[in-house]
Amino acid sequence: MLTAAGIRPAHHGSKLARALGTHLHTISERPSAPTANGPASDVLLAYLGEQISVLRQQDPRVRLDAHDAVHRMRVATRRMRSVLATYRTLLEDAQTVGLLRAELKWLAGVLGQARDAEVMHGRLKDMLGKEPVELLMGPVARRVDIELGGGYRKAHTQVLEALDEQRYFLLLDMLESLMSAPALTPLGTKPARRIIPTLINRDIKRLRAAVREARN
């Protein structure tokens, strides 16, 4: 709509970029596509980069309360936390990795409250829609909308407050710093085909042990 009205891209950078100069922190290049003989760290950084992109894409959609935005943003945070756990031995700064995982857990928790309310609201409305009309006593659907819809709106407000916190922006800065200048261990520089299967199998063994424990 803007271009149709006559707006054209500027031939120079933004005033903010010119003012900040070299202090402007950006990621100009995407991580290298991982290959079997390439460094194992490429697998971590490529996947992490994908999820950071999802996080950025969903940020404005969550603020606008777009459909499924909270869910997609939450999935991205949980996937980042998981991949940092699986491949943590590829990164040198264990303290930073631990802090990143803790902050991603915090963000996923905030998003989870809104998501849980959203799912419960949707499931109950779907169940009501399948019930015979004669079995619905009074304005049940309206009560569900008022109570559970109100719970979602409250939780979504808390999400918006979290996204405006300095804590959230520091998390984004940490992710960008990791992507732009990752400090790798010697393990991270070794071929992916030798390192990645071992790390994934370690997680599989841990999962199997947890399942056995749960069954007992």
Tell me the domains of the chain and their CATH numbers: 38-187 (1.20.120)
0.95 surpassed by pTM: no
State which H helix or E strand residue 49 sits in.
helix 41-63
User: Which has more pLDDT, 170 or 142?
Assistant: 170
pLDDT value at residue 28: 45
Within 10 angstroms of residue 18's Cβ, the number of other Cβ atoms is 10
pLDDT value at residue 103: 97
pLDDT value at residue 10: 77
Is residue 112 within 8 Å of residue 62, measured between CB atoms?
no
Q: What is the SS3 string spanning 128-194?
A: HHHCCHHHCCCCHHHHHHHHHHHHHHHHHHHHHHHHCCHHHHHHHHHHHHHHHCCCECHHHHCEHHH
